[in-house]
Structure 1
Amino acid sequence: MLGWLARWLRIIGVDARYGDRPDDELAETPCLLVTRDRELFRRRRGPAVLLLTEDHVAWISALIRALGVEPFRRTRCPKCNAELVEIPCAEAERRVGHPVRSPRCWACPNCGSIYWEGSHWRGIKKVVDEALRKPVDCPETY
């Protein structure tokens, strides 16, 4: 349900895991758990964030602040989570077989995917910029 969020977090530089795991395993993992599942959150024994709003900008804002992330300082592969390596865009063009109109390009050393600052990246950047301008006041719970 939050696969898109994991991919976006990877793009902005967060080591984000996502996959099908049993709730019992998720309840016990030492990693930060981000969920919309109230029952899983209630059973959770480690750090967790429960997303209650439908406001995706608020989600990004809260997670960037909670994780202390400097967005886009580094970026990760949205598919496999490996840290991307910047490459010349001429190399990216050669590898994808078509022109790439971008000032920056990256390759994944794990799965071989090629990325550049296209319309999808600009859309994510716009949402992240909005999230940085719109701090979320998260109430503390004990």
Structure 2
Amino acid sequence: MKLLLDAMLGSLARILRMCGHDAAYCLDRGVEDDDAIRDLAAREDCVLVTRDRKLAERAPESVLVESKDIDAQLREVAAAGVDLTPTPGERCGACNGELHEVDGEGNEFPEYVPDDASPVWQCEDCGQYFWEGSHWDDVEVRLEEL
């Protein structure tokens, strides 16, 4: 499912990316105006995820998220049929780019990547590195408790 999240849902976008979803965030795309957000979602064939009731009513496909609390937001998108299974190695949590696995042999990782991290993925768009660290455990526990 391809998603476009409005300006009020940046934290939700990051978690949805950790679940492997193509979850674009409108502010990352430089779009904030309601009409522009709706048009972008339609043009890119995305389901619009928004906290704005009027915008949701005007979008062809949308999920209205009413809560400000991230756990409640996760429950709402799950109830709308969005799979919340963590999927490491799919999407960049920072920019939504696709990740590819990087072999440790012959590659120098930045200092922030632990020496024992394996596998390691790199974003094709922004170049950031990812691995399954304790943050993955935290997200898995959070999602299991919903």
Q: Same fold (TM over 0.5)?
A: yes
Structure number with higher helix proportion = 1
Structure number with higher strand proportion = 2
Amino acid at match of 2:131: W
- With normalisation by structure 1, the TM-score equals 0.72
Superposed CA RMSD in Å reads 2.6
Q: What is the rounded CA distance, in whole Å, between the counterparts of 1:100 and 1:129 in structure 2?
A: 29
User: Of the candidates 48, 71, 86, which is equivalent to residue 71 of structure 1?
Assistant: 86
User: Of the candidates 1, 7, 16, which is equivalent to residue 9 of structure 1?
Assistant: 16
Q: What are structure 2's unaligned runs of at least 5 residues?
A: 1-7
Q: What is the rounded CA distance, in whole Å, between the counterparts of 1:128 and 1:48 in structure 2?
A: 22
> Quick one: structure 1 residues 120 and 74, their matched pair in 2 at CA, closer, same or farther if it must change by over 3 Å?
closer
2:111 corresponds to: 97
2:47 corresponds to: 32
1:22 corresponds to: 33
What is the CA distance between 1:125 and its match in structure 2? Answer: 1.9
The percentage of counterpart residues that share the same residue type is: 36
What is the CA distance between 1:41 and its match in structure 2? Answer: 2.2
Q: What is the rounded CA distance, in whole Å, between the counterparts of 1:102 and 1:73 in structure 2?
A: 13
Q: What is the rounded CA distance, in whole Å, between the counterparts of 1:76 and 1:91 in structure 2?
A: 24
Within 5 Å, give how 1:34-49 maps onto structure 2: 34-42=49-57, 44-49=58-63
Amino acid at match of 1:7: R
> Quick one: structure 1 residues 63 and 75, their matched pair in 2 at CA, closer, same or farther if it must change by over 3 Å?
farther
What is the CA distance between 1:52 and its match in structure 2? Answer: 1.6
Conserved 8 A contact 1:89-1:100: no
Task: Summarize deviations over 1:78-137 as a string: whole Å, max 9, x none.
Answer: 122122112345777x31225344443211122111111223222222212223xxxxxx
Q: What are structure 1's unaligned runs of at least 5 residues?
A: 132-142
Task: Summarize deviations over 1:24-70 as a string: whole Å, max 9, x none.
Answer: 1223432211111223223x231111112345334324434613465
> Quick one: structure 1 residues 46 and 113, their matched pair in 2 at CA, closer, same or farther if it must change by over 3 Å?
same
Amino acid at match of 2:63: V
